[in-house]
Amino acid sequence: MPDCLQVNDGRFQPERLAKSQVYQTGYDTIGAMYAILVINIEAPLEGTFHYHVPTDLASQLCVGHLVEIEFGRRLAQGIVIGFDETAPVEETKPIIALVDPQPVLWPWQIELAQWMSQEYLAPLNGCLRLMLPPGLTRWADIVVDINPYWDGNGRLTDLQQQLLDLLRQKGDLRGRQIRRALPKTDWKTAVTQLANRNILRKATVLDPPRVRPKKIRTAELIAGPKRLEAGLRQLGRASKQADVLFYLADLDDPLPEETAVLAATGASPHHLEALTEAELITISDFGFRMAEEESPTSEFPNPRSISLAIPHKDVLPQALALRGAATYYQITTLLARAAQPVAISDIYAATGANLQHLKKLAKLDLIRLGAEEVWRDPLADRDFTPAEAPQLTLDQTRVWGRVKVAMIEAEDEDVGLSGQDGDGVTLDDTSSPAHPYTPTPPKPFLLHGVTGSGKTE
């Protein structure tokens, strides 16, 4: 079997990959029994290791796969870089499982890592790790718990007693959790000593991959118009001026008396004056005279009446502004116009809101907070303009020919109407003033075609 990682003359040669049979995808096509692995651990390792391929993985395993293995006494990850029919040792360990059903490295990346390792005298596993997607590597750790069959006897050091007390309180813990709970202590030695005495049980585990689907938090309006207005009225600080506006908006009488408004809202004339200056309400002061035969000089003023000076639809935003709750109205208005979940970051940018505003609206069941998965696209903010126009298809060429002919004919007609003869000589007519020339608008063309048929080109 050819060596897939040979380097000639110290130069990286990806063109050899097409001739290398070791990169065939599928174990059955190779006929080998062993996979050649590079161990993906933090410690620098120069060589490769042979692991035998279990029967259930024989039809799936190929070069570039990331697999789970047992390396020494701990679990680890390995990268398949090739296959072999024999192993340099008599006893080999099996591959435990595939980390991902798809290969995580291309063959040319593996050869590039081999070239880097030889050229710069760097560990091969470190070079391969540079090619792995971020967050895919799983580091080994230990999990420790108290042996349920321990009788509780035996002398313990102070650190060992602290460790046992911690495990009794928290239950089984990972190594990193013990490190945080017992900083600046030799807890690893204590764990090993207690495990050797069968007081503790210790096992090796792999951390779950850190890579996860990218999600954005969203907010969506779930309340109808009536429930929305009722909920928004509960927000903000107390404001007698806002109470007056809401009272006038809810009242059937368009001209209530001033005394009735003040009594119902608890406001004062000062509040009414402020609303009048802001042109939100109007105060009417009418008077009338009795008939002259009864009392020609007596004047009996009517009680002053109050009315809204703004449309009813503007009462809610104006009142919320008086209560310092205008942000809530902006949020719900934005969500109502969108009629779909909106990213919280977009809400923040458009309204100046923060998470507390959204939580209050969610507590009133006016909006629903959620999350949506989005695709990572590093090229989303880039535009790629073709260097040259694409070659038209036969149908596109036929349609463009008809459009082009019509455009040329329209230009010829415009030239003739603008006052020129066939030879391009201007025809002067001094008998009457010239009329300004208005070019004839071109005739439109309607293109029929399914999506992707090339109408845009």
pLDDT grade for 12, boundaries at 50, 70 and 90: very low
**Least trusted range by pLDDT, from 144-148, 278-282, 380-384:** 380-384
Residue of 165, 157, 159, 167 lying closest to 187 (CA atoms): 159
Q: Which of 179-183, 403-407, 417-421 has the highest mean pLDDT?
A: 179-183
81 neighbors 1 (Cβ within 8 angstroms) = no
Q: What is the pLDDT of residue 435?
A: 53
pTM (whole model) above 0.75: no
Residue of 217, 222, 221 lying closest to 345 (CA atoms): 217
Residue ranges and CATH numbers for the domains of the chain are 14-129 (3.40.1440.60), 140-206 (1.10.10.10), 219-372 (no CATH), 392-457 (no CATH)
Mean of per-residue pLDDT scores for the chain:
81
The string of pLDDT tens digits covering residues 223-234 is: 999 999 999 999
Instruction: Calculate mean pLDDT across residues 117-144.
Output: 85
The string of pLDDT tens digits covering residues 105-127 is: 999 999 999 999 999 999 999 99
